[in-house]
Structure formats: structure tokens, C-alpha cells
């Protein structure tokens, strides 16, 4: 089975959302850094403003300084996350345009991911740790945080059962090793 596809920034963001859902630890860290710490930072900033309004409510200057630093850091977390996502996408594309295609080939024993005239990666079926999908993208995990991204719109709907079967079946492998 050979499939050609292109990726864009929206696919990349969908893959990041799906990869967060694949692990409880990553989901907890995401909510902590995206929601909990910015809310605590806003509360810290509100305490400092309240102290300034009341003029000398007993908050020591070092406490106010720490609250201001924590508030600034945690409120800037969502902004830095957005900038990190843009940088990671540029690194993933590695100078390629949006129109460059990626070729995915599934043979009976290995998965081949190829960028024509640039690179090729060959993975035995045993190297695939996990396969997860949603309605937009499918991810093939090769490590805890490393995955191949496949936009679902480029593979016909009637071929997805074959793709899922390739990742779920290990019948033709030798030995008792998991795939």
C-alpha cells in the first residue's frame, strides 16, 4: 500500500492535540501549563494590584516582586506556546514547501516514510509503538513523543480498515515479540 500526502500547519496542530490525548501525563501537563498556571499568575497579579491600591497592606516588597515575576511568567506561557508551535512546524518542514509530498508505504514487514529526493525512513513493524487517530489525522508513534503524521483526507475512506489492520495485526511476524 502506497499513499502520498501533504501536510500543513492545521494538520500539525491537530496532530499536537491528538498526541496530548494519547497519554495521561501529557494531558495533565498541557492543562497545567495552558490553564492552571496562567490562572494562578492572574491571581498573583491581582494580589499585587490589590496591595498597590490599598497602599501598604502588609505585603513585603520581596513578596510583591515574586508575585510580579510569577504572574508575568505564567501569563506569558500561552504566548510562548504559540511561538514554540510555529517554530516546531518550521523545523518539521525543514525548508520544504506546503506542496511537497510525503510518501508512506506499508509493506508486509516494514513501514517506509519517504520525502522524494530528500530522505527515507524505514521502520520494522516492531518499531511502531502506537497508532492513534481521530477524524482529522492519524499518528504513528515511533517513540514516546516522536510520531509520523498522516492527514486522513489523503487516504480513501475504504482503505482505512487496511491501514488500521496493518498496525493491529502481528500474525506474520516471527517470534513472540510485540509489534
**Sequence ranges of the domains in the chain:** 2-7+97-168, 11-16+23-93
The rounded distance, in Å, linking the Cα atoms of 117 and 42 is 50
On the CB side of 5, how many CA atoms lie within 13 Å of its CA? 19
**Each residue's pLDDT tens digit, 93-126:** 877 787 888 899 988 888 898 988 888 889 888 8
**Each residue's pLDDT tens digit, 32-67:** 888 898 888 888 888 888 877 877 667 777 877 888
Over residues 137-161, the mean pLDDT reads 89
List b or e across 122-156, with b for residues whose CB sees 16 or more CB atoms inside 10 angstroms: eeebeebeebbbeeebbbbbbeeeebbbbbbeebe
Please give the share of the chain, as a percent, with pLDDT higher than 90: 10
- Name the pTM for this structure: 0.73
The rounded distance, in Å, linking the Cα atoms of 97 and 90 is 10
CATH for the 2-7+97-168 domain, from 2.40.420.20, 3.40.140.10, 2.30.29.30, 2.40.50.90: 2.30.29.30
Amino acid at each position: 500500500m502506497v499513499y502520498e500526502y501533504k501536510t500543513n500547519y492545521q494538520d500539525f496542530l491537530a496532530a499536537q492535540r491528538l498526541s496530548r490525548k494519547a497519554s495521561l501525563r501529557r494531558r495533565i501537563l498541557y492543562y497545567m501549563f495552558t490553564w492552571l498556571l496562567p490562572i494562578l499568575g492572574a491571581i498573583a497579579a491581582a494580589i499585587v494590584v490589590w496591595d498597590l491600591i490599598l497602599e501598604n497592606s502588609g505585603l513585603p516588597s520581596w513578596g510583591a516582586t515574586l508575585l510580579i515575576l510569577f504572574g508575568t511568567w505564567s501569563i506569558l506561557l500561552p504566548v510562548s506556546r504559540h511561538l514554540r508551535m510555529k517554530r516546531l512546524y518550521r523545523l518539521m518542514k525543514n525548508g520544504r514547501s506546503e506542496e511537497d509530498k510525503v510518501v508512506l508505504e506499508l509493506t508486509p514487514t516494514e513501514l517506509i516514510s519517504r520525502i522524494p529526493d530528500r530522505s527515507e525512513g524505514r521502520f520494522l513493524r516492531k518499531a511502531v509503538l502506537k497508532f492513534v487517530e481521530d477524524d482529522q489525522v492519524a499518528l504513528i508513534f515511533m517513540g514516546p513523543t516522536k510520531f509520523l503524521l498522516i492527514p486522513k483526507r489523503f487516504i480513501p475512506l475504504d482503505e482505512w480498515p487496511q491501514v488500521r489492520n496493518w498496525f493491529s495485526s502481528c500474525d506474520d511476524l516471527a517470534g513472540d515479540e510485540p509489534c
